[in-house]
Each structure stands twice: as C-alpha cells, then as structure tokens.
Amino acid sequence: MANTTIERSTEGDIQHSDLLDAYRLMLLIRRLEESVYKAFHEAKIGGYLHRYDGMEALVAGIIPQLNFPGDYVLSTYRDHAHALAVGTPAREIMAELMGRATGCAAGKGGSMHLTDPERGFLGGDGIVGGPVPISLGVGYALKYRKQGGVCVCYFGDGAMNQGGVHESLNMVGLYKVPVLYVLENNKYAMGTSVERSTSQPDFVLKAKAHGIDGELVDGMDVLKVREAASRALKHIRETGEAYFLEITCYRYVGHGIGDDNTKAWKTYRDENEVDEWRQRDPIANLYRYLEENNLITREQSDKMDEEIKAEVAEAVRFADESPEPPLDSLYENVYS
C-alpha cells in the first residue's frame, strides 16, 4: 500500500487557515481518544466506548464546511469526533463519558449517545444503521420547512446490510430530501471483514440503486475528503437531492474497548495490514503537506500538540471534579 503525498485541491479555494484548523481538529480527536482509553482503564468511564483513531479525516474534511445553525449531523456510536467537530467542548464530552451532570447530555447519554442539538449535533446512535431512518425524517423536515439546510448522516459499512437502511434510502431517493450520507468504510463490521459480510461490496452502487448519486473517496487523505464533500454539499444545496459518499478508512484500534489492543483484536486482522494502513496515517499525511508547502514547522506542530494535550488534560480534570446527576433528575428532559 503506497504512502501517497496529499496534493493541493483543485476544487475551490482552500484557505491555509482551513488546513491548519483541520490539522488541529484531527490532532484533538486523536489525543482525546487516547485519553479516553486511559480513563476507561482507570475505571473513570463506565459502559462501553468506541474510538476514532485513524478515521479523523472523515470528520475534519466535512463538518467544518457545514453551516450552523441550519445544518445537522447524525452519527453512529463512534461519535466523539463528530461532537468535537461541531464545537462541543472537550470538557463537556469527557464529563459525559464519565456520566457527570456537566456533560453534553447531562450525564445521561454516555459515550454512544453524545448529543449537542444547539450546535447541530443530533447525537450518536447505539443501533447499527440507526441514524439512517432518523436522517430521512430530518431531511424531510428540512425540505418541508424550506429551511435550506443539509443533514449529514454518518454510518458504517456493517450497517449497509440492515433492512431499515435500505428502506430509508429508498424513501430518500424517492422524496428527494437534502441528506449527505457518509459511509465510514473502515473494512470491518466489528470483527467481520467486508468481504465476509456482503456479497456486493460496492456501496456506491447500492446507493445508486435507490436513486441517490455518489462516489468513492480515499478517507486517509483529508483534502480528497474535503473536495468530495464540497462537491456533494453543493449538489445537495442546489438540487435538494441526497448524495452518498463511501469513504474508505481504517481504525487503528479495536472495534470497541472490549477488543482494543488485546488478543481478540488480532483474531480478525493481520498486523502487517495494520502497519500498512498506519503508513498512510491521515494526520501524518496532512502534516507532510503543510510542511512541504511552508505552512507549518515541526516546532509549531509540537507546540500545537502540547496545547491540545493540555486542553484534554483540563477536560479530564473538569470531568473528575464535576458532580454526578442527582437521582431526582432521572426523568427530566435535558433539553426542555
């Protein structure tokens, strides 16, 4: 697997500040996920969680191009990165993971159900394929109310075998609603490879069968993700019709905390495969591009990284010191 250099976009004018912002966001996602792993093993986080290491470009290349308020984001249970990208503070995310009252869902959602509707994030969903039917409703509401917004719906390759997903895509194609589908194809549905789980691995073809146009994108290259998302969003805003991006990527850790860096992780993936994908790390790729174009130095990158680590450490402290939700708030509506 070749280690390709990111090339400058030919689709639109990408500002240098946008690239630096994307780099910082990707670093923040990676550092937060690393801290989450540590906090879980210190028994500070209960339940379950799923990390995004290696998939950062799928968020950094798309969500910063959205218009808030007005646009909306839906995600799977692997949702920490999406919350960060819409602007949810790291401290509120960490507090939610620890089940504290200061969390973005008042400590009631946890890792798989982060939510921040005021910033346009309608939440993570613990059901495989769960966000897709919801996106149909959100997209239809946007069309009905003539608000001009777009709903971006992230879901995984394993979800593409769910009946509710295809029923929803059929209606989205039929009713022409403004939804951008982002299929996070990280090659594995939990521990089952795409080759072993689906007879037709061309997911763009499946979307087109429902009347939704789309394309395949390299998710290890944030500029290619950004270019494709720019085209897709323009198409949706001009036509009101949905678009589908199958974005190939790779998670460097296990499916969830249960097989994260354990022997179980090695039962379905070869270490050489992981090493090959690590050579295409999206953060390292973007750094090389920035350095080669004199947009950042190693010293500036290191300083940025240290600032991010301090931000994450502060988020952990904030969560540690925050109270748990009172028992009498159990049935209260967090967003009423």
pLDDT tens digit sequence for 84-103? 999 999 999 999 999 999 99
Best CATH choice for the domain 16-276+283-320 from the list 3.40.50.1000, 3.40.50.970, 1.10.760.10, 3.90.870.20: 3.40.50.970
Please compute the mean of the pLDDT values over residues 108-118 and round it to a whole number: 95
So what's the pLDDT on residue 12? Answer: 41
How would residue 13 be classed by pLDDT, with cut points 50, 70 and 90? Answer: low
Kindly provide the residue ranges of all beta strands, DSSP E only, lying in 179-252, ordered along the sequence. 179-185, 188-189, 192-193, 213-218, 243-248
- The DSSP 8-state label assigned to residue 327 in this structure reads G
Backbone angles phi, psi at 283, to 5 degrees: -70, -45
So what's the pLDDT on residue 7? Answer: 41
CB-based contacts of 263: which residues, under 8 Å, 6+ apart? none
So what's the pLDDT on residue 156? Answer: 95
Contact in structure between 80 and 20 (CB atoms under 8 Å): no
For the cut 60, the answer to whether the pLDDT of residue 9 exceeds it is no
In this prediction the pTM is 0.93
How far apart are alpha carbons 178 and 201 in whole angstroms? 25
Contact in structure between 156 and 186 (CB atoms under 8 Å): yes
